[in-house]
Structure 1
Amino acid sequence: MIEGRMETRTAILRAARTLFLERGYAGASVRSVASAAGVDAALPIHYFGTKQALFLEALPSMPDYQPLLEGDPDDLGERFVRYVLEEDGHLRPLYLTLLRASDAGAVGEQLRDLHETTFVAPLESRLAGQDAELRARLAAAVVGGLMYALWVVGDDQLLAKGEDDIIRRYGALLQHLIDDRL
């Protein structure tokens, strides 16, 4: 019996992850998750309590930025911009899903926590000089702005300028914050 419960729970999580990434938080109902999982409509709430709790547990993990941060700090700006532009299809749907769900109470809190623990705090720990925390937060905002322009606004003209040029220029902007040159 326990094995069946774990399989049901896993099926619900798998279906929820797929639907939340495809449709967003508002577009994926608990009923549609249950249907996609092939279970009774009441089971997602039975196993997870609320739609928010299901959403938070179903999301794939945030990318591990640590390898990017551990490299040479002198080219971190360009490396990070290249990472965003050449992402493997995991970061963009996760970013868009979290952004679109950020006004849903616990989801917004989780997003802030992920922002702190996966980007701001690790970057801050690598920065030398004054105002490391402020510079780490500004760097996060700069990276977030690029993702917003590319993935929310869909600024195709930006991409048309050439990936190498964007990496060089936007990377330099980010590098200024990292190096404390502003």
Structure 2
Amino acid sequence: MTKTSAEPTDDSRLRPAGRATRAAIEAAGKKLFAERGFEGASVRGIAAEAGVDPALVIRHFGSKEALFLRTMDTSLGIGPVIEGPVEDLGRRLVTYFLEGGNTAMRRRFVAIAQASHLQQVRDEMVRHTAEAYIAPLAPRLEGEDREIRVALVVAQIAGLLNLLFLQEDPVLSAAPPDTLVRLYGDAIQQLVTP
């Protein structure tokens, strides 16, 4: 049985109390999705955290998936890294994603990965890859297959994050970050500047 989404309430039609309710639901969703992931955060739990009836979660956002996407920052602040020089992009990307064991980034990646079986989440990730990576980077590359190469860069980063954050691979987890930056960054660089 397929779940359908309700049509979310239009922001412009909300009164101040409705906007406060929506903000409370969004804050509760952000907190619980970060702590428990998509599957672990229920609509009832989000409603309880926000102090509202569970029906209001769906009324305001249309679906748990829509609330999830509204509260999760899928951009991960990657813009400045992508906009920098292409000559060392591979190492800069790996450094960015490994920097300081960023727990907020880890939580977001894990939550998004765990929800990637949902069509709405997959659609958002395809949109994100196109807008955050392919559109700004592909025109700056030289040679053939530029869009495919950028998509493969994203796939390589996702693979690294999967092994580190989801599988918690002991070999990679124990490796010195500078070694990962050098080895994996240089592998990614082969796609950027072949």
Q: Is the 8 A contact 1:77 1:170 kept in 2?
A: yes
Going from structure 1 to structure 2, the CA distance change for 1:58 and 1:71 (only over 3 Å counts) comes to closer
Return the offset for 1:144: 1.0
2:43 is equivalent to residue 30 of structure 1: yes
Q: Does 1:155 align with 2:164?
A: no
Instruction: Confirm whether residue 56 of structure 1 aligns to residue 54 of structure 2.
Output: no
Aligned residue pairs: how many?
Answer: 180
Moved more, 111-120 or 23-32: 111-120
Q: How does 1:71-150 map to 2 (within 5 A)?
A: 71-86=84-99, 88-150=102-164
The Cα of 1:72 is off from its aligned counterpart by 2.1
Q: Could you list the structure 1 runs, at least 4 aligned residues long, displaced by more than 4 angstroms after superposition.
A: none
Contact residue 64 and residue 118 of structure 1 kept, 8 A: no
What is the TM-score with the length of structure 1 in the denominator? 0.91
1:11-50 aligned at under 5 Å gives the runs: 11-50=24-63
Aligned mates of 2:133, 2:164 — CA distance in 1: 19
The 2-side partners of 1:63 and 1:102 are apart by 16
CA distance in 2, matches of 1:54, 1:66: 24
Distance 1:9 1:117, change over 3 A: same
Unaligned runs of 5+ in 2: 1-13
TM-score (norm. length: structure 2): 0.86
